[in-house]
Chain A
Amino acid sequence: MTFPWRRLPFFVFLTLATIAFVYPLVWLVSASLKPRSQVFDNRLIPEIFQPSNYVRVWDAAPVLRWLTNSLTVGFMAAAAVTLSSALVAFGFAYFRFRGRNILFGILLSTMMLPGAVTMIPVYLIWNKLGMIDTQIPLWAQNLFGSAFYVFLLRQFFLGIPRELFEAARVDGCSYFAMFRRIAFPLCKPALVIVFVFEFKASWSDLMKPLIYLQTTEYFTMPRGLKQIIDAFALSGHYEWEIAVAASVIAVVPMIILFAFGQRYILDGVATTAQKG
């Protein structure tokens, strides 16, 4: 096999781009193991290994709590949105009922609405319900489905041959059983995509935790990380090695998720745009 010389320039550029995309993360891990004076030395292999940075993060902040909080909130948010969006999407895909097209049009147009418009009244609702400084507002809205995921899942449900459902009807299958036994299992890959996307979105969300959480113990990981950075700015004492180590802790679970769900995620990104 000869080397494809004509493609060499592409490989060079792509490799450079790969370095630009991946190296910062490698640098981050390396910097998290350096003493403060050397965080900026840009060596790949730290001159002095200082893994104790991680111990210090652990002591300085309730990182384990933040991680479990993020995991809980992420799981609740993702599970809630996947189930509810699937139900709604099936409703829109399978049934013909009065007002369906108008409602679906409204659903699509809500995607254009900036979150800022509803942000304040929704905050006031949770405030009335006494839910400020709890994690419930971070995921409970997901119980009612999310327009984008409904749209996406509806496209998948429409791809299931209608005869399957008709046959099930003839056999006396209830509507809900049709959803649970036919539509749901057949669209598993799409449901996994929705779950993973929402988990990722929840994991990196900063705005909602900023609005709703006050007690440090209830923080999610990004909110906690922001707290660590703010503390430096307040004290004027920048302990960068701590911030870097905390950033690594915030990134690692997502990298693990990516490692396991890579194929789903990448194919999911490609299909969402095509279906969109």
Chain B
Amino acid sequence: MTTTVERPATSGQAEPARRRRPKRSPLAKREDRAGWLFISPWVIGFLIFTAGPMIASLVLSFTDYQMIQAPHAVGLDNYRELFDDPRVLKSLSNTFVYAAMFVPLGTVFALALAMMLQRVGKAGGFFRTAFYLPEMTPAVAAAAMFLLLLNGQQGLINKVLGWFGINGPNWTADPNWLKPSLAIVSLWTVGGTVIIYLAALNGVPKQLYEAAELDGAGPVTRFFKITVPMISGALFFTVITHTIAAMQMFDQAYTMFYGPQQKATASDESLVYMVYLFQNAFQFFKMGFASAMAWLLFVIILLITFLQVRIGNRYVYYHGER
């Protein structure tokens, strides 16, 4: 929820009155001061909690810092270690696999539910509420619950699969099924996305469908030629925010599979990037190395988002007020 795409900062149509800048009258100067005063909390916070720490973290990433002694410079060692430490690459690939499962599945699943909701009219309100309920569940509680539901021997999910003659896997113990388990926990909280899609679907003009139907377009054509392009803005927004969130997934993985106990036998298959970063920073106290990990993550997220925006700009259609 805390991430979004950068858009041009001026939303011109909303403030047409003050376009021209007159010479700086006393009034303009006062407005200048007042404006800065209003935004000063953010400016101060930005300097102390964002800009400063960004520089500090970049500097730290070139040092060895364990909090006991002052940091000392080690050049590119931490960055070299990123590529030498197999667990960094492992955690990165785990995160990608998880994101590659959750983002497409979540999008398709949420869109399917939203399209059905749109077709049931008034009753949709009830379903909408029901779908959002899991989003209110704290991640730790949801993870604890799914640890039980996904239990290989006795869990409810395998029992339900059993009704259909499927012998469910040992979700939370079999190394091959840890990431799918995490994806399932995340899919359970896809209700917010359903609501976003529903709002977007309701904004598509009905005449488009009627016209297309008259022209003999079938449901599949209408879906790909009208629905998808018309809600592409919402699809684009959610895919980007979900990807960024998935790259930083922590709560569920940490609750389900990690903790201070750190079993020696624990499999690395559920080690997502943020969990390993957190361990390095606050359990192994390798602050310099963890900072380098953070910058690698930042660069990866920037690259992915840049790529998505490039692709998106080619296909996304913004209608109405934009």
Binding site for B on A (CB under 8 A): 7, 10-11, 13-14, 17-18, 20-22, 24-25, 27-28, 31, 39-40, 42, 84, 87-88, 90-92, 94-98, 100-101, 103-125, 141, 143-148, 150-151, 155, 158-159, 162, 175, 179, 197, 200-201, 203-204, 206-207, 210-211, 221-222, 225-226, 229-230, 233-234, 240, 243-244, 247, 250-251, 254-255, 257-258, 262, 265-266, 269-274, 276
Are B7 and A21 in contact, with the CB atoms below 8 A? no
Contact flags (1/0) for B1-44 with A, using CB distance below 8 Å?
Answer: 11111110111001101100100000010011111111101111
Q: What is the distance, in angstroms, from A111's C-beta to the closest C-beta of chain B?
A: 5
A146 to B290, CA, bound (A): 25
Are B60 and A116 in contact, with the CB atoms below 8 A? no
Are B237 and A27 in contact, with the CB atoms below 8 A? no
A13 to B10, CA, bound (A): 43
Are A22 and B130 in contact, with the CB atoms below 8 A? yes
Q: Known contacts being A95-B38, A117-B54, A247-B144, is A207 close to B129, with CB within 8 Å?
A: no
Chain A residue, CB-CB nearest to B45: A144
Are B10 and A101 in contact, with the CB atoms below 8 A? yes
Known contacts A120-B53, A244-B145, then 5 further A-B pairs from the complex at CB < 8 Å, ordered by chain A residue: A96-B31, A103-B39, A117-B57, A222-B251, A258-B136
Q: Known contacts being A116-B293, A222-B140, A255-B136, is A197 close to B254, with CB within 8 Å?
A: no
Selected contact of B41 from candidates A143, A229, A250, CB within 8 Å: A143
Are A148 and B4 in contact, with the CB atoms below 8 A? yes
Selected contact of A114 from candidates B37, B46, B234, B247, CB within 8 Å: B247
Q: Known contacts being A107-B42, A115-B248, is A250 close to B141, with CB within 8 Å?
A: yes
Are B39 and A92 in contact, with the CB atoms below 8 A? yes
Most buried by A among B140, B251, B295: B140
- B82 interface contact, C-beta 8 A: no
A123 to B155, CA, bound (A): 39
Classify the secondary structure of B's interface with A.
Answer: helix
Residues of chain B contacted by A91 (CB below 8 angstroms): 34-39
Are B261 and A230 in contact, with the CB atoms below 8 A? yes
A94 to B266, CA, bound (A): 55
Binding site for A on B (CB under 8 A): 1-7, 9-11, 14-15, 17-18, 21, 28, 31-39, 41-46, 48-50, 52-54, 56-57, 60, 113, 116-117, 119-120, 123, 127-134, 136-141, 144-149, 151, 154-156, 159, 188, 191-192, 195-196, 198-200, 203, 234, 237-238, 244, 247-248, 250-251, 254-255, 259-261, 263, 274, 277-278, 281-282, 287, 290-291, 293-295, 297-298, 301-302, 305
A240 to B144, CA, bound (A): 10
Q: Known contacts being A116-B297, A120-B60, A144-B41, is A108 close to B199, with CB within 8 Å?
A: no
Q: What is the distance, in angstroms, from A123's C-beta to the closest C-beta of chain B?
A: 8
Are A28 and B131 in contact, with the CB atoms below 8 A? no
Are B255 and A120 in contact, with the CB atoms below 8 A? no
Are A270 and B195 in contact, with the CB atoms below 8 A? yes
Residues of chain A contacted by B192 (CB below 8 angstroms): 269
Are A206 and B119 in contact, with the CB atoms below 8 A? no
A207 to B139, CA, bound (A): 11
Are A143 and B45 in contact, with the CB atoms below 8 A? yes
What 8 A-B pairs are tightest by C-beta distance, nearest first? A144-B45, A91-B38, A95-B35, A97-B35, A204-B138, A121-B53, A40-B154, A270-B199
